[in-house]
């Protein structure tokens, strides 16, 4: 049985979530973003450690992060096309939410469970966006591990950037 044949209509919105690379306005407004982040926060969280944090980037943030992506690219290869492409990444689509995970030593709850909880929160965010009629793209790559990008996003030494979540309306 194919995935489509197995679809129960009550689960339609889960099947509707697909990565959409080309996004345009409108994205979620401030009220909708608050609702999306509240939905993300309902993720199963063993020990209630809340090992995630979300940052909604405003235009200034995105410009700063774009410059950091370009700088990070230059440390690897300063080809003008690659630098331009790197700089464009955080500017794609009308809205970017950054997901950060922070796991701690805990007597009962290993790091991997805390990371799994943070990933569940990200998936909640993406599914909630789908439910509100928006598309999403969960992006990572080596950029999010780079010190320049981490600094531009204000990641603390014990936080891992686990996603740049682009939200918006699918471009025709
Ligand atoms: C932790 C994580 C990191 C991801 N990073 C990227 C990424 O850097 N670039 C990308 O195009 N997709 C990324 N994705 C999305 C997957 O590529 C995507 O979900 C997969 O291709 C299946 O497509 P679908 O989401 O439409 O089902 C990531 C997904 C996860 C869970």
In a domain, 52, yes or no: yes
Centre of ligand 1 to C-alpha 127, Å, is: 14
Q: Is the pLDDT of residue 62 over 90?
A: yes
Q: For residue 43, give its domain range.
A: 28-58+96-170
In a domain, 22, yes or no: no
11: CB partners within 8 A, 6+ apart: none
In a domain, 16, yes or no: no
Q: Is 19 in the pocket of ligand 1 (CB under 6 A)?
A: yes
Centre of ligand 1 to C-alpha 111, Å, is: 22
CA 35 to chain centre: 16
- In this prediction, residues 158-168 reach a mean pLDDT of 98
Q: Which residue is closest in CA terms to ligand 1's atom 11?
A: 139
> Any idea what the CATH number is for the domain that residue 135 is in?
3.40.109.10
pLDDT, position 1: 85
pTM for the predicted model, two decimal places: 0.97
Closest listed residue to residue 118, CA positions, set 51, 47, 49, 36 = 51
Centre of ligand 1 to C-alpha 135, Å, is: 13
54 dihedral zone (left: phi>0; alpha: psi -120 to 50; beta): beta
Centre of ligand 1 to C-alpha 123, Å, is: 11
In a domain, 111, yes or no: yes
Probe target for ligand 1 pocket from 140, 146, 161, 162, with the most ligand atoms within 8 Å of CB: 140
In a domain, 72, yes or no: no
pLDDT in tens, 22-56: 999 999 999 999 999 999 999 999 999 999 999 99
In a domain, 120, yes or no: yes
CA distance 118 to 31: 22
57 dihedral zone (left: phi>0; alpha: psi -120 to 50; beta): beta
pLDDT in tens, 126-162: 999 999 999 999 999 999 999 999 999 999 999 999 9
Q: Is 22 in the pocket of ligand 1 (CB under 6 A)?
A: no
Closest listed residue to residue 136, CA positions, set 160, 115, 161, 164 = 164
pLDDT, position 5: 86
Work out how many domains the chain is built from and give that number. Answer: 1
Q: Dihedral, CA atoms, 42, 25, 130, 49, nearest 10 degrees?
A: -20
In a domain, 103, yes or no: yes
In a domain, 116, yes or no: yes
């Amino acid at each position: 049985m194919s995935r489509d044949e197995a679809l129960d209509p009550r689960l339609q919105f889960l099947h509707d979530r697909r990565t959409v690379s080309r996004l345009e306005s409108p994205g979620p407004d401030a009220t909708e973003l608050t609702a999306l982040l509240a939905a993300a926060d309902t993720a199963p969280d063993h020990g209630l450690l809340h090992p995630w944090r979300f940052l909604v980037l405003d235009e200034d943030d995105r410009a700063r992060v774009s410059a950091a992506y370009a700088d990070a690219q230059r440390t690897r290869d300063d080809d003008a096309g690659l630098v331009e492409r790197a700089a464009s990444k955080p500017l794609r689509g009308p809205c970017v939410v950054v997901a950060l995970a922070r796991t701690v030593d805990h007597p009962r709850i290993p790091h991997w469970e805390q990371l799994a909880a943070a990933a569940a929160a990200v998936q909640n965010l993406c599914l909630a966006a789908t439910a509100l009629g928006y598309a999403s793209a969960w992006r990572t790559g080596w950029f999010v591990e780079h010190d320049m990008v981490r600094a531009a996003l204000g990641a603390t030494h014990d936080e891992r950037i686990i996603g740049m979540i682009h939200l918006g309306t699918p471009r025709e």
